[in-house]
Structures are given as C-alpha cells and as structure tokens.
Amino acid sequence: MDPLDGNAIAGDLFVHFGREMTTASGTCGHCGARGQLAELRVYTRAPGSVARCPNCGNVVIVLVAVGERPQIHLDHFTLAEGTIAGR
C-alpha cells in the first residue's frame, strides 16, 4: 500500500485541535527529524490511521475514531513551540 501525505488526516487534526494543523511543525521522537505534519507518510488501511516519519519510517502519530471524535496519540511527535496543544 502506498502512503498518503499528512493532508489525509487534516480533517481529524482539525476536529481534534480546532484549527488547520497540516502546516504545524514538529519533531520525530525516534530520529529527531523536524518537519510539517503534511510531510508525514500516512497509512489508512487499519481501523485507524498511522503517520510515519518520512525520515526514519517509525510511527509517530496514531489516530482512531471513538464515536464521533478522533483520538490522536502524538506519543512520538513533539509539536513545535507555539502550536496549540492537544485537548
């Protein structure tokens, strides 16, 4: 399966954060690469979606739908200072 870019999760990010997030920057918790959310490699084949670092390929974000609201786990992606923190 070919990956999509981070724009594939733009809607879920908007619902969670309340603003456009694909241009927000962050750092991979595995390799330290820095980039925008739109640059992540997204796979949507599972019950949720996973976003992988384009540099090292490790999973940095996991999204799952729980009811009407997406649950987003940014366990390995640190948003840059000044970005709205998750709710």
- Answer whether residue 61 is part of any domain: yes
Q: For residue 57, what are the domain limits?
A: 4-78
- Name the pLDDT band for 86 (thresholds 50, 70, 90): very low
H/E stretch holding 12 reads helix 10-17
- Answer whether residue 9 is part of any domain: yes
Whole-prediction pTM: 0.88
Q: For the segment 32-59, what is each residue's pLDDT rounded down to a tens digit?
A: 999 999 999 999 987 899 999 999 999 9
- Lookup result for tokens 């390929």: 57
- Answer whether residue 86 is part of any domain: no
Q: What is the SS3 assignment for 55?
A: coil
**C-alpha dihedral over 71, 40, 54, 3, to 10 degrees?**
90
| Tokens encoding 60 | 């940095």
Q: How many domains does the chain have?
A: 1
- Which residues on neighbouring strands pair with residue 72, listed in sequence order? 63
